[in-house]
Structure 1
Amino acid sequence: MTRIYDIAVIGGGIMGCACALRVAEGGMLPIVLDQGDLGQGASGVNAGTLSLQIKRVRLMPYALKGHHEWARMGNAVGFHKTGGYTLAFTEHEAELLYERQRLKAEAGAPISFVSAQTLRKAEPGLTQKVVAASYCPEDGYANSSLTGQYYRRRLQDQSISYHERCPVTAVDHDSNGFTLATPIGPVRARRLLLAAGAWLRPVAALLGVDLPVRARVNTVSVTGRMPPLVSTVIGHATGLLTMKQKANGTVLVGGGWQGRGTPQAGRGQVTAETVVPNLALAQYALPGLGNARVLRSWTGFEANVPDFYPLAGALPGVENAFVLGCVRGGYTIGPYIGRLMGDFILSREPELPLFDPARNFDEEAT
């Protein structure tokens, strides 16, 4: 007799796994299916930055809760709370910094503005060309390459079925639920959660739903081991730089600079046109990087919709189907919004509101 699961989760990243764990806690029998390995999509290839200073104002309550989740995971995910500075090098950038960080502070983030003297004392390796700077003691980072390992162990501990390298190629839907075509044979479930990140659009299309999902091709670079240069997470007022030095001396540089490619075509491509200015901005902020050797640059797909807020709720037009994804800065928020989604599927009132996938996707600037 074919086993019928309470819910099948398509996508084994942070959000899909966190949701599966939550519904299992509530008594459901989930199964997680991923076309690759757990946590190896956007969840595993980002720079690992956990900064409240780069989150959108409306998402600040979720980011604060997400920070607590990462701190609770601790060493298992390489969590470090270092504090972080965001820098402005011109008067225009300083205006942006003051405006944006003030709003984020009002939304609950412990962000303050610091003097040049305070900054130089804390981070003497930074350039002295800083016009303004903000500081958040909660900022830090985790090791994104540990994401899959962490959630694989959590699923195993809870006896939750999961299958890696198991793409879903077709979905049939009737009054009894869903039947998924997979390499391991048909998988049957009463409910379905789409948590496939940058691959959400083609997966939703299997159910006849067109989600307005786009994909950014973010680039990250890592240097060889360096002597101590910086002890906190460093960002830039424009959002075009994130940088931190890890315990082994390597420096990770990101900031959303774009490579080329699409999720459907496979891995994205790094381009010199964007990597070079990203590294130049990093070196401008931290002159000691001039002696660094870049070991590797890579890309990761980040899903978003036109208003850059999450998809989190019922999948429009398909009974007992749900969608979760497209969170800008989803690495920080992922563990928490996955829990919220699990509560929603369990018919519990989520602690914070979700984001209706059937909404009107107007662009928003904040």
Structure 2
Amino acid sequence: MRWHDLAVIGGGLAGVATAYFAARAGADVVLLERRDLNLGASGSNAGSIHAQIPFDPYREMGEGWARHFSETIPLFRASIARWRTLEAELGGSLGVAIKGGVMAAGTEADLRALERKVEIERAAGLPVEMWDRETLRARAPFLSDTLLGAAWCAEEGKADPFRAVPLIARRAVEAGLDVRRNAPVAAVEQVAGGWRVAGPWGAVHARKVVNAAGADAAHVAALAGVRLPIEGHLIQVAVTEKRAEELPFLLYFTGARLTLKQAAEGGYLIGGGWPARAGPLPMVDQTSMIRNLAVAQAMLPSLAGAQVVRAWAATVNGTADWRPILGEVPGRPGFFLNLFPWMGFTAAPAVSEAIAALALGQTPQVDLSPFAWPGEGA
């Protein structure tokens, strides 16, 4: 019977990157994906690379939440640094463009709240500037003149979600990764020497297991006797026709959910977490689409008349406090979690490299201990 060093469950960016880093380190790795690679949130998000604390949960949960969440900032910064080096390492394009992010405020109350959030971010080591109205108009004259100011972070940007997983998976396979597609997991059992992971396709044995199953992670964890406070959320993204280059940075708005950026080809990617509809597969919700497009056009008036050429919906994993759940599960030796809610696309490179190191008994370059799963009821 063959024993793998590591079994990774989940074929999104977190799972594929974990498998890549482990295989590159010389481990015998098998990856199990219930459908095909990159079909979930990793291939369906808007490709934003974040560093700033998101405004919506900050508004809802307050400054105490923001200080607690700011522990993720070193992970974001480490991962953004990793995004910058991955293309050269992999020998191909991931569409990485780190040209900064602007979080714009439309009211005095939001501007004051944004200033307090920036203080928390700076205390966590993130270089963020506050722009007053005049500075914002001077640096971004194409934005709405109703905006009163903004926070600027030079470390934010974008990458291409359609390129990342395929290229990383290709290099992982070249390093020896065994990819099992159409391999839904129905059993995760601790056995002598490690773990047995099984489904209708058969079974594999591995000394260590990483649960990187995204929105399906709670189900996978439950198979191993672990109950996680993580669930799936339906969101959607739209893309416009190609336009002349105008918006160089990632744009947020404090007044409503929005991420807006312009791809190198000219189309605008419009997202921000607006809810999609449930169905046999996630479905685009027209009401959310109209509201999301209205917010985008209000921020960038030149979008008026732009045609939406496609839109799609996906399920992302989320936790109530927005914090990731990372590392080895107490009481389940050899069972690891790589679960980063909401902004996992940004965090995947550095976090997955660290999870791979932990699973192989090595010391990771970033500290994941603040995000360890404390156990049910903690």
Q: TM-score, normalised by structure 1?
A: 0.91
Name the counterpart of 2:290. Answer: 276
- Asked whether the 8 Å contact 1:96–1:237 carries over to 2, the reply is no
How far the C-alpha of 1:284 sits from its partner, in A, is 0.5
In structure 2, relative to structure 1, the CA distance for the partners of 1:266 and 1:189 (3 Å cut) is farther
Given candidates 36, 61, 84, the residue that maps to 1:71 is 84
Q: Does 1:337 align with 2:351?
A: yes
Which of the residues 173, 177, 201 maps onto 2:194?
A: 177
Amino acid in the other structure paired with 1:285: M
Query: In the aligned structure 2, how far is the partner of 1:238 from the partner of 1:347?
Result: 45
In structure 2, the residue corresponding to 1:121 is in which secondary structure?
Answer: helix
Between the aligned residues of both structures, percent identity stands at: 31
1:305 equivalent among 311, 319, 323: 319
The one of 217, 220, 230 aligned to 1:213? 230
Q: How far apart, in 2, do the equivalents of 1:101 and 1:303 lie? A: 26
DSSP-derived class of the 2:202 partner: coil
Q: Do the aligned partners of 1:305 and 1:361 also contact (CA within 8 Å) in 2? A: no
Q: Provide the secondary structure at the position in 2 that maps to 1:78.
A: coil
**Which of 212, 229, 242 is the aligned partner of 1:195?**
212
Aligned to 1:16: 15
Q: 2: CA distance between counterparts of 1:360 and 1:183?
A: 29
**What amino acid sits opposite 2:230 in the alignment?**
V
In the alignment, the residues of structure 1 paired with residue 360 and residue 283 of structure 2 have an alpha-carbon distance, to the nearest angstrom, of 40
Paired with 1:285 and 1:37, the residues of 2 have a C-alpha distance of: 37
1:353 matched to 2:352? The reply is no
Q: 1:168 to 1:103 in 2, by over 3 A?
A: same
Contact 1:77 1:147 in 2 (8 A): yes
**Is the 1:213–1:326 Cα contact (8 Å) retained in structure 2?**
no
Aligned residues: 358
Shift of 1:21: 2.7
Partners in 2 of 1:92 and 1:199 — Cα distance?
38
Equivalent in 257, 273, 282 of residue 256 of structure 1: 273
Q: Does structure 2 conserve the Cα–Cα contact (< 8 Å) formed by 1:209 and 1:316?
A: no
Q: Which string of whole-angstrom CA distances, capped at 9 and with x for unpartnered residues, describes residues 150-181 of structure 1?
A: 12212122121112222222334322332222
Q: How does 1:1-366 map to 2 (within 5 A)?
A: 2-54=1-53, 56-74=69-87, 76-182=93-199, 184-238=201-255, 240-261=257-278, 266-350=280-364, 351-354=366-369, 355-359=371-375
- Using the alignment, how far apart are the partners of 1:112 and 1:359 within structure 2? 38
> Please, what TM-score do these two structures have when normalized by structure 2?
0.88
Displacement after TM superposition at 1:104 (Å): 1.1
Report Cα offsets for 1:96-155 as digits up to 9, x if no partner.
Answer: 211112211221222101233332233222110111111112221011111221122121
Aligned partners of 2:242, 2:104: CA distance in 1, in Å?
24
* Secondary structure of the corresponding residue to residue 153 of structure 1: helix
Q: Which runs of 5+ in 1 are unaligned?
A: none
Partner of 2:58: none
Unaligned stretches of 5+ residues in structure 2: 55-68
Counterpart of 2:81 in structure 1: which amino acid?
A: H
Secondary structure of residue in 2 paired with 1:52: coil
CA contact (8 A) 2:102 2:152 kept: yes
Conserved in 2, the CA contact under 8 Å of 1:77 and 1:146?
yes
Question: For residues 72 and 308 of structure 2, what CA distance do their matches in structure 1 show?
Answer: 33
